[in-house]
């Protein structure tokens, strides 16, 4: 059970700050962009706003999960010139999966020659971008509406069980090929969990994991640690907020409360959360803040907080032995066994020395789970100066990381 004293304290703190922090609204929870007109938003769809403008073909696809969520995906079927396909002219598909509190547009904020999806398309791949449930273009369901609590009754377990399989099935059905997978942050976590349960291994060709996240016990982001250890997500749920939307409402007040409690200047909240990124362009940060963060479920945030506190990778803990037995048939939620990932699956890891979320110690512990992996099937890159966001928006990422990823994928043909 979650300690009632901790939840009670969190509730008192959050309600107090949510009611008393109005003067900070002018600056905005996420800092510098407040009051500035956005340069580019994805209101017309990610293809129209962020791919077509660079002269690339792009298709919008909708995919329905087995539990009824309608997920939006983008496909960039070829490079700008339409040339460069490998494998006898048949382009190998790549699925790119974003992290927590963002969507697929987070890969498309720099100039075209610095954006990973476009770089891979130019190098001959059939590029797909996923958008998990709850993000702006995946707020749809066959029967439920985002205004209903039931719409938000999921954690990253459901991304593993439903979202990734739906995306993989859709791509595989259209292309008839195995898929290269590339994840960042939460995108790596759901990839690890899925591959460990053998659900997608018959459809995956290889996997590249940037800022890999599975174990979070050494996470150095102060705001994340306070949020997890103060049971703030649980308190949010008790107050009735099934949707965790950092941009508005009580959640924004919670974030301000954490900043004040920790004595942190959260004007540049991106750096506070991710670590001191070395290589971000100021205009890219402004564009990021115009479009992100995205909503997720409060239950998902609770699950991530459990991972931080419990120092284990398990399915969602329902808070009591009785409830866990009801859902899992056992008192403790089942563990995800990362070492069960097939030892012959080609893997590429890239992690940063300044990352506050994917801390070096946690990544090294993760890598230790692969000590029996086929040695010629695993590639590890350490980038000393990179933090969490450098891997998706860094101006040097093409030369430092993305070209290495493309070379790795091509070797698996």
For residue 217, the model assigns a pLDDT of: 77
Q: Examine the residue annotation and report whether 163 is marked as an active-site residue of this protein.
A: no
Matching residue, tokens 């029996």: 372
pTM, two decimal places: 0.87
Which of 22 and 74 is assigned the larger pLDDT? 74
Residue range 394-412: mean pLDDT, rounded: 97
Instruction: Flag the least confident range among 52-66, 221-235, 331-345.
Output: 221-235
3-state secondary structure 266-277: HHHHHHHHHCCC
Taking residues 186-190, what's their average pLDDT? 96
Residues in Cβ contact with 89 at an 8 Å cutoff, skipping those fewer than 6 apart: none
User: What's the average model confidence in pLDDT over 371-393?
Assistant: 96
Residue 321: CB atoms within 10 Å? 12
Residue 32, classed as helix, strand or coil, is: coil
Residue with tokens 């292309």: 175
Q: How far apart are CA 286 and CA 56, in angstroms?
A: 24
Q: Residues 142-171: pLDDT tens digits?
A: 999 999 999 999 999 999 999 999 999 999
* Mean pLDDT value across residues 89-108: 92
Average pLDDT (312-330) is 93
Per-residue pLDDT tens digits for 252-283? 666 676 677 666 666 566 666 777 888 898 88
Q: Which residue among 50, 138, 185, 350 is the active-site one?
A: 185
pLDDT of residue 379 exceeding 90? yes
Tell me the C-alpha distance between 87 and 92, whole Å: 7
Does position 185 have pLDDT exceeding 80, yes or no?
yes
The residue that leads in pLDDT, 114 or 27, is 114
- With residue 6 as reference, give the H or E element that holds it: helix 4-20
Of 157, 161, 388, 390, the active-site residue reads 388
More confident residue, 310 or 7: 310
Can you tell me the mean pLDDT for 70-79?
97
Catalytic residue flag (residue 373): no
Exactly one of 355, 359, 362, 390 is catalytic; name it. Answer: 355
Note if 185 is an active site residue.
yes
217 or 354, which is more confident? Answer: 354
CA–chain centroid gap for 247, Å, is 17
């Amino acid at each position: 059970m979650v300690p009632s004293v901790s939840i009670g304290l969190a509730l008192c703190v959050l309600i107090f700050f949510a009611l008393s922090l109005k003067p900070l609204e002018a600056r905005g929870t996420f800092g510098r962009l407040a009051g500035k007109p956005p340069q580019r938003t994805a209101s017309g769809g990610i293809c129209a706003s962020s791919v077509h403008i660079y002269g690339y073909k792009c298709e919008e696809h909708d995919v329905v999960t087995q539990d009824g969520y309608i997920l939006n995906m983008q496909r960039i079927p070829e490079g700008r010139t339409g040339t460069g396909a490998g494998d006898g002219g048949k382009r190998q598909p790549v699925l790119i999966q974003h992290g927590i509190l963002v969507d697929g547009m987070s890969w498309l904020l720099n100039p075209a020659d610095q954006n990973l999806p476009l770089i891979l398309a130019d190098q001959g791949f059939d590029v797909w971008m996923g958008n998990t449930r709850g993000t702006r273009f995946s707020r749809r369901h066959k029967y439920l509406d985002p205004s209903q609590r039931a719409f938000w009754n999921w954690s990253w377990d459901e991304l593993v069980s439903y979202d990734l399989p739906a995306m993989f099935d859709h791509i595989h059905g259209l292309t008839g090929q195995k898929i290269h997978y590339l994840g960042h942050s939460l995108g790596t976590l759901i990839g690890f969990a899925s591959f460990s349960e053998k659900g997608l291994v018959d459809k995956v060709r290889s996997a590249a994991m940037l800022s890999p996240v599975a174990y979070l016990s050494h996470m150095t982001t102060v705001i994340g640690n306070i949020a997890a250890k103060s049971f703030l997500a649980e308190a949010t749920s008790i107050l009735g907020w099934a949707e965790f939307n950092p941009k508005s409402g009580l959640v924004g007040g919670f974030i301000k409360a954490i900043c004040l409690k920790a004595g942190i200047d959260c004007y540049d909240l991106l750096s506070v959360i991710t670590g001191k990124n070395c290589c971000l362009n100021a205009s890219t940060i402004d564009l990021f803040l115009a479009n992100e963060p995205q909503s997720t479920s409060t239950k998902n945030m609770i699950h991530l907080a459990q991972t931080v506190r419990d120092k284990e990778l398990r399915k969602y803990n329902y808070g009591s032995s009785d409830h866990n037995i009801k859902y899992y048939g056992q008192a403790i939620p089942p563990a995800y066994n990362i070492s069960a990932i097939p030892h012959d699956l080609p893997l590429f890891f890239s992690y940063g020395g300044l990352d506050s979320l994917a801390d070096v110690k946690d990544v090294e512990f993760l890598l230790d789970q692969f000590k029996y992996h086929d040695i010629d099937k695993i590639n590890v890159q350490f980038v000393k100066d990179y933090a969490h966001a450098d891997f998706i928006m860094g101006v040097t990422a093409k030369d430092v990381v993305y070209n290495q990823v493309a070379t790795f994928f091509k070797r698996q043909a």
